[in-house]
């Protein structure tokens, strides 16, 4: 008979993201629920509504590569503390690769770290790509985008993001071509609409198909009225969250009639 731990071992050997939720205090103490990033959960915490609430939060923890304590009501109610659940994520944090060592990159790095991303800033210009300018980044790389992606591209997954902020065809066109060869989940490119039209023509000249171009989020970010680098960083991160959730139309929650949590 296959046990919860057997399923966990299979996922770990396959390096598939998975979370293990355990009731550490309250009704059902000791009960466990195994939550894969795809597929059915295994086990139960003793109440189907609690299972639903915890599995939702466990998927969020997996997306961030985070581990921590959550509190619920006995039936999964938020903002209660009858049940304490430890959610352990077996997944590396998602990666964000930022091309272009510009002011917007510094603001985006700070915002991405709040979302638990492991952030790499890359630029071929050593005078700009320095750790002192990007202290929050996990890694600052002096190299051309296509060369970096040749090394790390095969390891990128749908949990990861690439943001190209260079505004320069000699940087962003090779970066986009290389990024389209990866399985990255979000590919955003900064620039005005006229800049993007010119960029699309250059990409088509490089042999990029119209189908591949549909993966681009350009101009990058959601229409939040952002003006500063910090506000722009929020709009980019908001678009990444919406893309990960599969949302094509973004509305204020006050106008949404469907469940808040998807």
pLDDT tens digits, the chain, 262 residues: what are they?
A: 668 999 999 988 887 889 999 999 999 999 999 999 888 999 999 999 999 999 999 998 888 788 999 999 999 998 898 999 999 999 888 899 999 999 999 999 999 999 989 999 999 999 999 999 999 999 999 999 999 999 999 999 888 999 999 878 888 899 999 999 999 999 999 988 888 889 999 999 999 999 999 999 999 999 998 899 999 999 999 999 999 878 777 777 777 776 665 5
pLDDT of residue 261: 59
Q: Which of 252, 22, 204, 234 is nearest to 109 (CA)?
A: 234
* Parallel, antiparallel or unpaired: strands 42-43 and 32-36: antiparallel
Distance between start and end Cα atoms, the chain: 33
pLDDT of residue 1: 60
Distance CA 99, CA 217 (A): 15
Task: Give the pair of three-digit tokens for residue 197.
Answer: 């039209």
pTM of the model: 0.78
């Amino acid at each position: 008979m296959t046990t919860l731990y057997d399923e966990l071992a299979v996922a770990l050997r396959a390096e598939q993201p998975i979370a293990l939720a355990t009731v550490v205090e309250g009704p059902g103490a000791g009960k466990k629920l195994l939550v894969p990033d795809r597929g059915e959960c295994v086990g139960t915490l003793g109440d189907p509504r609690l299972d639903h609430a915890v599995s939702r939060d466990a998927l969020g923890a997996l997306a961030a590569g985070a581990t921590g304590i959550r509190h619920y009501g006995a039936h999964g109610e938020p903002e209660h503390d009858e049940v304490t659940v430890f959610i352990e994520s077996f997944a590396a944090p998602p990666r964000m690769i930022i091309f272009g060592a510009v002011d917007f990159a510094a603001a985006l790095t700070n915002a991405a770290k709040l979302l638990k991303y492991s952030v790499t800033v890359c630029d071929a210009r050593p005078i700009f790509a320095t750790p002192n300018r990007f202290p929050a980044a996990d890694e600052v790389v002096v190299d051309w985008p296509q060369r970096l992606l040749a090394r790390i591209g095969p390891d990128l997954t749908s949990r990861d993001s690439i943001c190209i902020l260079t505004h320069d065809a000699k940087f962003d066109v090779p970066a986009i071509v290389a990024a389209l060869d990866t399985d990255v989940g979000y590919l955003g490119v900064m620039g005005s609409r006229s800049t993007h039209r010119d960029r699309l023509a250059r990409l088509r000249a490089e042999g990029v198909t119209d189908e591949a171009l549909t993966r681009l989020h350009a101009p990058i970010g959601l229409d939040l009225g952002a003006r500063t680098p910090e506000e722009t960083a929020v709009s980019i991160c908001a678009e990444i969250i919406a893309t990960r959730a599969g949302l094509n139309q973004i509305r204020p929650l006050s106008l949404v009639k469907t469940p808040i949590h998807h």
